[in-house]
Structure 1
Amino acid sequence: MSQPKGNLYLIPCTLGDTPPLEVLPLLVKKAIEEIDYYIVEHEKSARRFIKTVSPRKSQPDLKMEEINKFTSTEDIPAMLDPCLNGHDVGVISDAGCPGIADPGAAVVEIAHRNGIKVVPLVGPSSILLAMMASGFNGQNFAFNGYLPIDKAERKSKIKQLEKTSAQEDQSQLFIETPYRNNQMLESLINNLQGDTKICVACDITLSTEYIKTAPVSLWKKIKVDLNKRPAIFIIQR
């Protein structure tokens, strides 16, 4: 009889320095206490997160593999060898839910291909929390990742998203590198029509959380500094 395979647990992380058990269920703590094999975005931050959730967890016993944008797809299958040998493996992103705008999705794909059970655990997703708080169409929305850096290409993309939003009644979400957030908001204000609505959701779940939805015409009068603060931008026409 072949050995039963371990499960792949998708373990949410906090979105900042919020105490983990304020935003994560006890099931996440239980999983971390029982799992010794991890696939993580950055080992240092993952170890810090695990120590915060489970201070008594033996750090030397943890076995970690890193996956990020530089990881070769050829290296990923071997990361799941512990599952094939009967051990559970946890996937931890730097922030939020693994597999959502996150390289962990590649691990999940290969797990399915190898008949490994995937177990997603409940936790904060900045994309869903921003959508919940926006007041926009939660029945039809799209996450677009990063917009182009080039000003002309960005302008064209913004107008395209606005047009799609109007035609499909679809909320359009995207993100920006935190130090360029102010420039992103400025680009939206300068290139969208005055009655198009913008939601900015910044520092979600943190004490400095800022979430506001308003038409472009009103955003022109609002003063807010988004520099170096993780943010989600949503537009709806």
Structure 2
Amino acid sequence: MNGPDLVVVAIDGPSGSGKSSVARAVASRLRYGYLDTGAMYRAATWWCLDQHVDLTDAEGVAAAVRAMPLTIGTDPEAPGVEVGGTDISVPIRTTEISTQVSAVATNLDVRDELRRRQREIIGLVGRERGGIVAEGRDITTVVAPDSDVRILLYASEEARLARRSTELHGNASTANVEATRDQIVRRDRDDSTVSSFMQAAPGVSLIDTSDLSLQGSVEAVLDQIASDLGRIRD
């Protein structure tokens, strides 16, 4: 537990489980800070490509990430991402980055560096705002295992593919779902070699969002937070 002056809510989950949208909405409702750790890995990928670093050069990638001048916004209303003063909030969401981010995210030295930064942000921003909602793939088990609230959001593969297809292509037609499948399934498979995010670890609450709307998922998480903190929701 982090004490009365700092509440840490950690949310894990696979691609398309809704963790980013849900975590951001929950942070906004609670007026907490918000940390999208996935955006940090995307930023690292963008930076390496921008610096013409070969993503198969593990040592070169790690060195580049350690030098990366990253500024990540923690206001849930405007969580921007900048590297060296350049706003890359939009570029890091492109298909180019999505298809290559696993090469960086599975680099163990990169993970060590970004986890170090994540822990610093969680402590600093959490104390400033009274709490923080951090989401990613190993927040509940590695980055912040002593969080006050630890949740794994899960959804069926069908639901996750439909959501990501709608996000990227505007709808969940058969063709668009298939076009999205490799990005979702392959990335989860690759990332699961260095992080466990498909099953809830001991002490982590599992919330299945397969049949829940965004609002329903947000309410379920808020209920779990209130329960874990021994509070009555307003």
Fold agreement, TM-score > 0.5: no
Q: Of Structure 1 and Structure 2, which has the larger fraction of its residues in helix? A: 2
Q: Of Structure 1 and Structure 2, which has the larger fraction of its residues in strand? A: 1
TM-score, length-normalised on structure 2?
0.31
User: Which protein is bigger by CA-based radius of gyration?
Assistant: 1
TM-score, length-normalised on structure 1?
0.31
Q: RCO greater where, 1 or 2, for CA within 8 Å and sep 6 or more?
A: 2
